A and B are shown apart, each in its own frame.
Chain A
Amino acid sequence: MTPTLKNILCIEDEHFISELYVRALTKAGYEVDVEMDGQKGLDRAKSNQYDIILLDLMIPTITGIEVLRHLRDKSETPKLKARIIITTNLEQRQDIREDIESQADGYLVKASITPHELVDFLSQLEPNTP
């Protein structure tokens, strides 16, 4: 079955992890592009061709938090349609985490979920209405 939100951008610098995610997601009918650094990821995300962005927080050039800020800045990306899901293994201070969660559409700890569980989670996302 083809998912409604089909195009995914995975911004993840750990190749082994993105490899696993791409495998599980492709099998479930998603199309996935991978970027390994923050700046390139941001540039690609701005093309606005993605339904879902999986965003790691600890990534090279600019951090995931900065990418998130740029993407949520209406003057930069006024009509971003993508759902932004944070995928991280980083523990945050409560206030920082809340700040991130309030801007993102989901917050997943990678060590707590398997690729399959990620697929399950994404399949339940509703399309964005920007």
Chain B
Amino acid sequence: MNFYDKFLRHISTHILTVLIILAVVPAGVALLVRHYLPVEGVLLFVVAIGLVGALVAQRSIIERTTEPVKALWDVIQFVSPKSTQTAAPKLDILHSGREMIAVMANQVYQLAQSVDHAKDLRGAKDTSLHASFIANSLPLPLVVLDKDESIVFANKAALEYLARPADEVEGNNVYSIFDFSFSDDDTFDTWLKRSKHKSVSTSRTWERVRLGLVDQANNKQFDLAAHYNKSNPFGYETVLVLFDHTETYGQDDQSLGFIALTVHELRTPLTLLRGYIEVFKEEIGPKLAPDLQEFMQKMEVSGQQLSAFVDNILNVVKVQDNQLELHLKQENWNEVLDHVVSDLSLRTEVRGITIKTDIASDLPPVAVDRYSIYEVLSNLVDNAVKYSGTAKQIFISASVNKEGMVETSVKDFGVGIDSSILPHIFDKFYRDHHNRAKVGGTGLGLYLCQAIVKAHHGSIFVRSKVGQGSTFFFTVVPYHKLSDELKANAKNGITREAHGWIKNHSYYKR
């Protein structure tokens, strides 16, 4: 039985009681007075008693039936904005419908509360209107995210930048709208996750961020600034601002693209030169005087180096476009190193430099892409030769390090690297300004080495002292350390990409 039925039954009982009283009492009284009064008199008396009873009963009925309504009225009065009452009306004194009125009153209180809340929100909207006016006047794309990484606001400049209307942007997950790529692993996504976990309020900037608008070509590059604020009262948790540099950054890429195109044209003459040198070396090499034989060897080495240079440039362009794919296979590292060393020895010997090795005999098989790792070693050895100065030795060693990775190092005893430039040495196009005039180079070799080693899930680092030489170390993963799942699914080797650009988030899989 619900509250209303109970209330109805209560009221019915009252009315019934009153009616019984009205019917029985006058009748009883009439019977009593009948002996003393004439019939008309009795009638008059009964009517009079009935009238008085009705008057009394009416008041009682009205009071009893309107009591709950009055209580509800008091409740509404209490929550009205003009009310000065400090205490809520008491409901426990109600004779009937107490529970029902309590429930109704509670609902009134809740309604009043949500009205107040809405009012607060309206107030907030007023301030956010101001804010959006300011944001819309800002000539930089600005985007605001809530705690679920949905876009709650994108200013005019952002919408223009995205070339999309507000309703296609706002309310959507940021990663579905912005397809960011970063030049290293510390992407916006990882920063935001970390910030949510650890910080209340923090900021950060990134340089050279790419934007591949979903379904559009990668055509925008910019610096990105982000601010995170956990306790923002309106739920505006993260703010992003973009500083467009498409033109400036694009120029580097274009020049690299142009170089690649030019370098490509070197390949056919290079094929021929290397072919002819080989023919000459074979046919007349043995008959030549020793000094001419040496020239022949230098010619051969130059051909190899030019070919390596061309591959370097073309591979850097591939890394840039996330197009360099590696196929890791189980390889005997001792064999790989032996092969590389004997191959590269020719290059060092013509410069009077010998390669010495100290390679542990019990190295475990490793997971590498032979061709790419050859490029890493070839770049490191070429660098060692280039910066050896008067030193005549290069030292290659390999062993298993503390972390169980196979670590290989290439050490020279040459000019060394100034500590101030060490942190930048793996950056694209970076060259030591002290050496720039003395030693040629593109500043791409070590950048490529790093991209390849990282794709192998290894690391590359350097130790150096000016005047004493440099040692470059890189690690590769022993094959047994790979998961069984990876090995089972790798019929043609384990595929990895050498990234010039790290995709921000897996929202869109390629």
Q: Residues of A with Cβ closer than 8 Å to B?
A: 14, 16-17, 20-21, 23-24, 89-91, 93-94, 98, 109-112, 114-116
1/0 per position for B253-297, CB-CB distance to A under 8 A?
A: 000000010001011101110111111001000000000000000
Given contacts A89-B264, A94-B318, A112-B307, whether A23 and B279 have CB atoms under 8 Å apart is yes
Output the nearest chain B residue to A93 by Cβ-Cβ distance: B323
Compute how far the CA of A41 lies from the CA of B271 in the bound complex, rounded to whole angstroms.
22
Taking a contact as CB atoms under 8 Å apart, the answer to whether B271 and A89 are in contact is: yes
Taking a contact as CB atoms under 8 Å apart, the answer to whether A94 and B325 are in contact is: yes
Which listed residue, A17, A89, A112, touches B275 by the CB 8 Å rule? Answer: A17
Residue among B272, B277, B325 with the highest chain A CB neighbour number at 10 A = B272
Taking a contact as CB atoms under 8 Å apart, the answer to whether B278 and A115 are in contact is: yes
Compute how far the CA of A94 lies from the CA of B500 in the bound complex, rounded to whole angstroms.
14
User: With an 8 A cutoff between CB atoms, is B244 at the interface?
Assistant: no
Nearest CB of chain B from residue A95's CB, rounded to whole Å: 9
Given contacts A91-B314, A110-B267, whether A20 and B323 have CB atoms under 8 Å apart is no
User: With an 8 A cutoff between CB atoms, is B310 at the interface?
Assistant: yes
Taking a contact as CB atoms under 8 Å apart, the answer to whether A115 and B275 are in contact is: yes
Nearest CB of chain B from residue A86's CB, rounded to whole Å: 14
Compute how far the CA of A18 lies from the CA of B13 in the bound complex, rounded to whole angstroms.
116
Taking a contact as CB atoms under 8 Å apart, the answer to whether B271 and A116 are in contact is: no
Taking a contact as CB atoms under 8 Å apart, the answer to whether B272 and A114 are in contact is: no
Taking a contact as CB atoms under 8 Å apart, the answer to whether B278 and A111 are in contact is: no
Which listed residue, A17, A24, A93, touches B268 by the CB 8 Å rule? Answer: A17
Nearest CB of chain B from residue A12's CB, rounded to whole Å: 11
1/0 per position for B306-335, CB-CB distance to A under 8 A?
A: 010011001000100001110000000000
Compute how far the CA of A98 lies from the CA of B326 in the bound complex, rounded to whole angstroms.
11
> Chain B residues with Cβ under 8 A from A20's Cβ?
272, 275-276, 279
Compute how far the CA of A111 lies from the CA of B311 in the bound complex, rounded to whole angstroms.
9
Interface residues on B, range: 20 to 34
> Chain A residues with Cβ under 8 A from B272's Cβ?
16-17, 20
Compute how far the CA of A117 lies from the CA of B171 in the bound complex, rounded to whole angstroms.
60
Q: Residues of B with Cβ closer than 8 Å to A?
A: 260, 264, 266-268, 270-272, 274-279, 282, 307, 310-311, 314, 318, 323-325
Output the nearest chain A residue to B314 by Cβ-Cβ distance: A91
Compute how far the CA of A89 lies from the CA of B318 in the bound complex, rounded to whole angstroms.
15
Taking a contact as CB atoms under 8 Å apart, the answer to whether A111 and B323 are in contact is: no
> Chain A residues with Cβ under 8 A from B274's Cβ?
111, 114
Nearest CB of chain A from residue B50's CB, rounded to whole Å: 103
Nearest CB of chain A from residue B122's CB, rounded to whole Å: 54
Which listed residue, A91, A93, A111, touches B271 by the CB 8 Å rule? Answer: A111
Nearest CB of chain B from residue A2's CB, rounded to whole Å: 20
Nearest CB of chain B from residue A101's CB, rounded to whole Å: 9
Output the nearest chain B residue to A90 by Cβ-Cβ distance: B264
Taking a contact as CB atoms under 8 Å apart, the answer to whether A114 and B278 are in contact is: yes
Output the nearest chain B residue to A17 by Cβ-Cβ distance: B271
Compute how far the CA of A115 lies from the CA of B271 in the bound complex, rounded to whole angstroms.
9
Compute how far the CA of A21 lies from the CA of B266 in the bound complex, rounded to whole angstroms.
19
Taking a contact as CB atoms under 8 Å apart, the answer to whether A111 and B267 are in contact is: yes
Q: A16-B272, A20-B276, A91-B314 are in contact. List 15 more A-B contacts (CB 8 A).
A: A17-B271, A20-B275, A24-B275, A90-B264, A91-B260, A94-B324, A98-B325, A110-B267, A111-B266, A111-B270, A111-B274, A111-B310, A114-B274, A114-B278, A115-B279
> Chain A residues with Cβ under 8 A from B307's Cβ?
111-112
Nearest CB of chain B from residue A111's CB, rounded to whole Å: 4
> Chain B residues with Cβ under 8 A from A89's Cβ?
264, 267-268, 271
> Chain A residues with Cβ under 8 A from B275's Cβ?
17, 20-21, 24, 114-115
> Chain A residues with Cβ under 8 A from B278's Cβ?
24, 114-116
Compute how far the CA of A104 lies from the CA of B93 in the bound complex, rounded to whole angstroms.
94
Compute how far the CA of A111 lies from the CA of B271 in the bound complex, rounded to whole angstroms.
4
Nearest CB of chain B from residue A129's CB, rounded to whole Å: 19
Output the nearest chain B residue to A117 by Cβ-Cβ distance: B278
Closest CB pairs A-B (n = 3): A89-B267, A20-B275, A111-B267
Output the nearest chain B residue to A14 by Cβ-Cβ distance: B268
> Chain B residues with Cβ under 8 A from A115's Cβ?
275, 278-279
Compute how far the CA of A110 lies from the CA of B264 in the bound complex, rounded to whole angstroms.
12
Nearest CB of chain B from residue A64's CB, rounded to whole Å: 15
> Chain B residues with Cβ under 8 A from A98's Cβ?
325
> Chain B residues with Cβ under 8 A from A110's Cβ?
267-268, 271
Taking a contact as CB atoms under 8 Å apart, the answer to whether B311 and A112 are in contact is: yes
Residue among A21, A91, A93 with the highest chain B CB neighbour number at 10 A = A91
